[in-house]
Structure 1
Amino acid sequence: MKHLTLMMCFFLGVILSSKAQLLHSPDGNFTMKFTLLQDGTPTYELSYNGKEVIKPSKLGLYLVDDEKSLLDGFSITDTKTATLDETWTPVWGEVAEIRNHYNELAVTLTQKGTERIMMVRFRLFDEGLGFRYEFPQQKNLVYFTIKEERTQFAMTGDHTAFWIPGDYDTQEYDYNESKLSEISGLFDAAVTANASQKQFSKTGVQTALMMKTADGLYMNLHEAALINYSCMHLNLDDKNMVFESWLTPDAQGNKGHLQAPCVSPWRTIMVSNNAADILASKMTLNLNEPSKIEDTSWIHPVKYVGVWWEMITGKSSWSYTNDYPSVQLGVTDFEHATPNGTHAANTAHVKEYIDFAAEHGFDGVLVEGWNVGWEDWIGHSKDYVFDFVTPYPDFDVEGIHQYAQSKGVKMIMHHETSGSTRNYERHMDAAYQFMVDNGYDAVKSGYVGDMLPRGETHYSQWINNHYQYAIEKAADYHIMVNAHEAVRPTGVCRTWPNLIGNEAARGTEYQAFGGSKANHVTILPFTRLIGGPMDYTPGIFEMDIDKMNPNNHSHVNSTICNQLALYVTMYSPLQMAADLPENYNRFLDAFKFIEDVAVDWDDTKYLEAEPGRYITVARKAKGTNNWFVGNVNGKQTRESNIVLNFLDKGKKYTATIYADAKDANYKTNPQAYTIKKVKVTHKTKLSLNSVEGGGYAISIIEDKS
């Protein structure tokens, strides 16, 4: 049931005056103040529970080739206020219903001399503030180019931040925890190698940026509804503790080409005295438009396995042959090439994965390296890399389709673009139709390496428009998208719910590239996942990579129970059991949790949370009365104490607890765990050991007897 109330008003949460505009959140805890300085510069400030959290901060845009930017000289020519309180139903999600409740102030500004109009729209929720720039149809501002956006976030102190380097091409970094004043000194060490990367400042960081103040407030800065605009980073003036927006440039160095009427993405600020509130917030989704897909019946959550981890570890290869120093599609003869003996995407091997998926109740099987071109796919600034429809000689598309269909398993397509966006768009219709013809309804796309056209980066306006084009084109073919190396999500999955996953962060693959910090997964939900679900690819059971590839001495910095918990703590409607079947077969009792855990939910409770330290989450499986709990722990062993008061009163449940053993250690004894079953009710209290880099997972099944 949906309740919608829209009221134009001057009394619900807003006080207007000639000098300042005040906007209050529905619960009254937040107050936003908008003011014009004497020179007509727009500013805002934000307080929470009477305490200043954003000091007066300037707004506006620098324009290219224009003698007068949109920075000052403004007067207020109109104000409109509204409140909205509605409930909407997501296609998939952490909860069955989402409440969207805010008070709004829209300030129309007219610039003296140019008579150009710019509106700043503020929405204040109980979780925080969203605001954006709007440019209505007008004679004096039609086509314009952004040199930079001047959106400031003036901090009230030298907060503790969880940050990664600002970069136009990648978010695949381990997170750093430091004072804001320490970022510049730590920046060079924070930059680690990637296939494509470009930093812009020693104090530049990426959103979503998570911070904690000295007096215990949690703050998050991000953006929502990134459409037809470049990705926003933040550059810190560490003398004055002021962040300013830093947009990603295009190949010409411009930050955006706009045509009125148009809007910017929302700039978001969340604040709470409880870190769990940041995780539970749906503000980012609420700042996006409702679904543009009328019939969403074909969109569904997916739990899958795949031919992937064995290539990531170096056990197997994506390429089919070693005969050629380079290949050209349509010219290179693969039919008479010598197989290299390590190609994983072969028919017999893929059928083994299909059998495993069918036996253990998985929905799908992903296969990477099935299509010709992997012999020289990266690092050559090569336009025509793949055609996305031609298989290697040892991959029987039709035979695999029929075999998977007979087992009740869906195949998941893989499209690696090698950053060549023009080539992907050239082949996109044929590739999606090929998927439809062969029973694929989901695609994992990739953008590894430097982008083409040359000079573009992964997060520029032009490339962001490509990602959006791919999502919308996929919807025409009823295909779900899981985009890797694309721009980090900003809640667009509400508008286009066929976007069921993204990578856009340092995922599990880096555990095979030298490892990630043991507390990495206690930070990601506060940062990367604020904008939408991540295809993190959890579920690794064999932590010593050299047991699969003797030449790779990486170690997965996690215990098995930590890997189990990720299916609950790292929310996604798309979840992979990433390890090899033979490794799961060694620990089938622990693998039972991955078999059982849901991927779609009716309710979610964040039981305890502290960024970089620990997260404990309980989720209720869609359409059932069964709950799953996950706990991931950071760098210090601790006792996690929780109460199961989210369970229904008067009902009994059986809890299966997968916990770190007393002697578990993510470095030396990661496969040590215990499993026990206990009867529980809503009054049950649990105290569980969670080691460094460890955690626990619990399935709670209602007793029917």
Structure 2
Amino acid sequence: MKKIQHPLMALLLLATALSVACSADRTETVSSPDGNIEIKFCLTPQGEPTYSATYKDRPIVANSLMGFEIKDAEPLTGGFRMDGVNSSETHETWAPVWGENDSIVNNYRQMAVNLSRGDLKMNIEFRVYDDGFGFRYLFPEQPAKQYVVTDEMTQFAMAGDHTAWWIPGDYDTQEYEYTRSRLSEIRSHADDEFMPNVSSQRFSPTGVQTALLLKTDDGLYLSLHEAALVDFPAMHLDLDDSTLVFKAHLTPGPDGTMATFDTPFKTPWRTVTIGEKATDILASNLILNLNDPCALDDVSWIHPTKYMGVWWEMITGASSWNYTDAENFDLSTFDYSKAKPNGRHAANNENVRRYIDFAARHGFDQLLVEGWNIGWEDWFGKEKDYVFDFVTPYPDFDIAALNKYAHDKGIRLMMHHETSAAVDNYDRHMDKAYDLMKKYGYDVVKSGYVGNIIPRGEHHYSQKQVSHYLNAVKKAADKHIMVNAHEAVRPTGLCRTYPNLVGNESAMGQEYQAMSPKHCTILPFTRLKGGPMDFTPGIFEMDLSKTALGNKLHKNATIANQLGLYMTMYSPLQMAADTPDNYERKMDAFQFIKDVPLDWSESRYIDAEPGEFIIVARKDKNSDDWFVGGVNAEEARDVVLDLDFLDPDMKYMATIYADGKRANGYTNSNDYSISTREVNSSDNIQVRMAVAGGFAISLKPII
């Protein structure tokens, strides 16, 4: 009979073998400022770089190999010698342009290990914080000017069969709902029916994407991700489920290689965030801290933006992006002046003015208009290089008049550029497109990359595309334009360096109309750790047949849940995503959306558990007002909210937006209550969060 080795036994044997091989003169350590996290770097007798990590002497990452495989060269995984170690410590505070807090402490200890093999030099830099650590590879200038990476060999050897919240490894999309399972069970879900997407390529039955959330059996929370992704492909993780070792898996280019770089070069950081409570992960600034400081000299033009959109009515099917339903359409020969309008085109002058009036009347900053430009009839599923020119409006969209109308009302229009994933075409037109925005006073663009990337063979997360997304942000900054990119690579904290990157999608948002209520209680632990998401909260009509005749979907949420999202899904760019008609019927609840700020001086995560609920309190950056919100998943729960975060010398008027007694996000979404009471810091507020429910509270000082 064949004896089957338990996966954890194999892992322990690997860890033991590597630790025995590392002698004292080949081992270096660095600890976090509080001493709880220790990173041990070891060079084996074969010259293999390895690392391990502990938290309060508990293993977090067992001994794990490091390095790269290089085209037409010996792998950068062994044969190294250690030439020296440079250590330092940094303690500073920096102020984000916008964010969850008005200041962030950046306190770490650093260890840079200098390695060489002949003329080749490869250094590995570790930074260790109280809430986690990161490491990256640095290649100084050297005789071999260019390297072509065929594989990254970095490992994360897990110290147990942790519970994981994960989405499948995919080169083109993160638009999945999360699966909760043991690491050893990921393979058993490989054939699950995940949400289909127009562009998707999964690479392994045990591949997952970052940020990956884990929970150990003894209650620690871990997050594996990367920071400062610049000029390199996005990293996924591929699990060897016989040993519970993750290996970095980079998104390939068309020729199968992963990355090409010239020295000097530094890779993105590979990161592990560690918390004793779930809220520690939510509150961590590790990813932001590992990014470079702001690269822009002038940030006065960057501002939080609350907006509405001519959007949800198309998402639900009530109207159309297209101007016409012409068949056998070819943009190169089509004459729109002779076209028959389909009567369902949403971005028409009358409808846009109606939205402008509503948004301006209720104090919004901007109005997004999708489907304003020619070409929508010619793109979906066709994979053409040239569809949109990003400057020519449809006949029923008077771009000059509508922008003037908006400006006269005190708001702006927000630009929309759907690239149809034809990236080279967007690059060719970008200057003129941005110039058009400047001409008419647009200062935010929502870009989209729906479909398979053109040129064919590229992926949404490959090196070329990663560089494209950042170049678009840099070029936009030159013209004082903020960027909200959809279907782009998931964020890795670059909004610190380029704060005009005010939003991304890069996950399943509310356009997936019937998602599980668990989803929005997981995203803040995963996707949002790299930067804010344009999640599009604020849906007030959950029976979508009332918005779009024939739409049989039901959104699984309560009104109070949708209000709570403005607190739990942080972004400086927040949408009120529903239509004016649906808001008109619930103006009392709509008041919270009007009141809630987008920029905060302080944020406190009160309580949370991924997949179950999140409760957060935030203080307005421009006043003494506090706001609190919670969202809940699939089990109703009672919450006793202590108000000890309030100023003890002040009294506040609390306005409480709560689920009604019969509220249920699946069966009774519209039951909500609004109440007011005077409170102080010694009081508490009791609320019940329904199934798929939530709550929102504004706390304004009584003067």
TM-score by length of 2: 0.96
| SS of aligned partner of 1:335 | helix
Distance (Å, rounded) in 2 between the aligned partners of 1:525 and 1:323: 43
Equivalent position of 2:313 in the other structure: 310
1:178-577 aligned at under 5 Å gives the runs 178-329=181-332, 331-511=333-513, 515-577=514-576
Q: Show the counterpart of 2:48.
A: 41
Give the Å deviation of 1:377.
1.4
For 1:163, give the aligned amino acid: W
SS of 2:429's equivalent in the other structure is helix
Aligned-partner SS, 1:171 = coil
- State the Cα distance separating 1:46 from its structure 2 match: 0.5
1:127-186 CA-partner distances (Å, limit 9, x unpaired): 1011000000011x3211111111111111111000000000000000011111111111
The answer (yes or no) to whether the contact 2:176–2:508 under 8 Å persists in 1 is yes
Whole-Å Cα distance in 1 between the matches of residues 129 and 684 of structure 2? 33
Corresponding residue for residue 666 of structure 2: 667
2:171 is equivalent to residue 172 of structure 1: no
Structure 1 residues 89-123: Cα deviation after superposition (integer angstroms, max 9, x where no partner): 11100101111110000001112xx4311000000
**C-alpha offsets along residues 586-619 of structure 1, whole Å, 9 cap, x if unaligned?**
1111110000000111110000011111110001
Structure 2 residue identity aligned to 1:660: D
Cα separation, 2, equivalents of 1:596 and 1:228: 40
**Contact 1:614 / 1:632 at 8 angstroms: preserved in 2?**
yes
- Aligned partner of 1:334: which letter? Y
How do residues 607-686 of structure 1 correspond to structure 2 at under 5 angstroms? 607-686=606-685
1:288-317 Cα deviation digits (max 9, x unpaired)? 111111100000000000100000001000
CA deviation string 1:212-256 (max 9, x = no partner) = 011100000000000000000000011111111000001111110
C-alpha separation in 2, matches of 1:496 and 1:378 = 31
CA distance in 2 between counterparts of 1:573 and 1:415 reads: 20
Letter in 1 for 2:97: V
1:52 aligns with 2:59: yes
- Contact 2:26 2:82 (C-alpha < 8 Å) held by counterparts: no
SS at match of 2:465: helix
* Counterpart residue type for residue 265 of structure 2: C
* Match of residue 137 from structure 1: 141
User: Equivalent pairs: percent with the same residue?
Assistant: 54
Deviation at 1:366, TM superposition (A): 0.1
Question: Any idea what the Cα deviations from partners look like across 1:413-450, whole Å, max 9, x if unmatched?
Answer: 00000000011010000000000001100000000000
> Is the Cα–Cα contact under 8 Å of residues 124 and 130 in structure 1 kept in the other structure?
yes
State the secondary structure of the residue aligned to 2:511.
helix
Deviation of 1:386 after TM superposition, in Å, equals 0.3
- Residue 124 (structure 1) aligned with residue 124 (structure 2): no
Structure 2 residue aligned with 1:101: 107
Question: Displacement, 1:190?
Answer: 4.9
Counterpart CA distance in 2 for 1:448 and 1:361 is 31
Show the counterpart of 2:587.
Answer: 588
Checking the alignment, whether the CA contact within 8 Å between 2:331 and 2:378 is kept in structure 1 is no
Report deviation, 1:688. 1.3
Secondary structure of 1:18's aligned partner: helix
> 1:86 matched to which residue of 2?
92
Q: Which amino acid aligns with 1:91?
A: V
Distance (whole Å) between structure 1 residues aligned to residue 380 and residue 262 of structure 2: 35
Q: Which residue of 1 aligns with 2:10?
A: none
- The one-letter amino acid of 1:120's match is I
CA distance in 2: counterparts of 1:376 and 1:282, whole angstroms? 43
Which amino acid is 1:320 matched to? Y
Distance 2:210 2:670 in 1: 34
Structure 2 counterpart SS, 1:594: helix
C-alpha separation in 2, matches of 1:164 and 1:555? 24
1:469, CA displacement in angstroms? Answer: 0.9
- Equivalent in the alignment of 2:4: none
2:605 corresponds to? 606
SS of 1:561's equivalent in the other structure is: helix
Counterpart contact for 1:176–1:190, Cα < 8 Å: no
Contact 1:174 1:190 in 2 (8 A): no
Higher mean alpha-carbon deviation, 659-668 vs 361-370, is at 659-668
Query: Cα deviations across residues 317-357 of structure 1 (Å, max 9, x unaligned)?
Result: 0000112422324x310011110000000011001111011
Q: 2 CA distance for matches of 1:70 and 1:470? A: 33
Over residues 575-594 of structure 1, what are the superposed CA-to-partner deviations in whole Å (9 max), with x where a residue is unaligned?
00000100001111111000
Q: Secondary structure at the match of 2:126?
A: strand
Is the partner of 1:495 in helix, strand or coil? coil
Alpha-carbon deviation of 1:693? Answer: 1.0
What's the counterpart of residue 14 of structure 2? none
Which residue number in structure 2 is paired with residue 74 of structure 1? 80
Distance 1:315 1:135 in 2: 54
SS at match of 1:146: strand
The Cα of 1:550 is off from its aligned counterpart by: 2.7
Partner of 1:451: helix, strand, or coil?
coil
SS in 1 for 2:192: helix
Is the partner of 2:445 in helix, strand or coil? strand
Normalised by the length of structure 1, the TM-score is: 0.96
Residue aligning to 2:16? none
Computed over aligned residues only, the root mean square deviation of the Cα atoms, in angstroms, reads 1.0
Contact 2:119 2:142 in 1 (8 A): no
| Structure-2 separation of matches of 1:630 and 1:148 | 44
For the 8 Å contact 2:158–2:246, the answer to whether it is kept is yes
- Does the Cα contact within 8 Å between 2:26 and 2:44 map onto a contact in 1? no
Tell me, in whole angstroms, the C-alpha distance in 2 between the residues paired with 1:310 and 1:82: 55
Contact 1:165 1:190 survives alignment (8 Å): no
Q: Is this contact kept in 2: 1:160–1:212, CA < 8 A?
A: yes
- Displacement of 1:17 after TM fit? 5.5
CA contact (8 A) 1:63 1:146 kept: yes
3-state secondary structure, aligned to 2:594: helix
Q: Distance in 1 between matches of 2:241 and 2:37?
A: 26
Which deviates further from its counterpart, 571-580 or 317-326?
A: 317-326
Matches of 1:606 and 1:42 in 2, distance apart?
A: 38
Partner AA of 2:575 in structure 1: M
Q: Deviations over 1:592-647 (max 9, x none)?
A: 00000001111100000111111100011112100111101122111122211111
Please give the secondary structure, in 2, of the residue aligned with 1:635.
coil
Mapped partners of 2:317, 2:35: distance in 1: 55
> Secondary structure, in 3 states, of the residue corresponding to 2:420?
coil
Residue pair 1:170, 1:504 contacting (<8 A) in 2 also: yes
Q: Residue 126 and residue 190 in structure 1: after superposition, are their counterparts in 2 closer, same or farther (change >3 A)?
A: farther
Contact 2:557–2:666 (Cα < 8 Å) also in 1: yes
Q: Distance in 1 between matches of 2:209 and 2:71?
A: 24
> What is the Cα deviation at residue 70 of structure 1?
0.2
The count of corresponding residues between Structure 1 and Structure 2 is 681
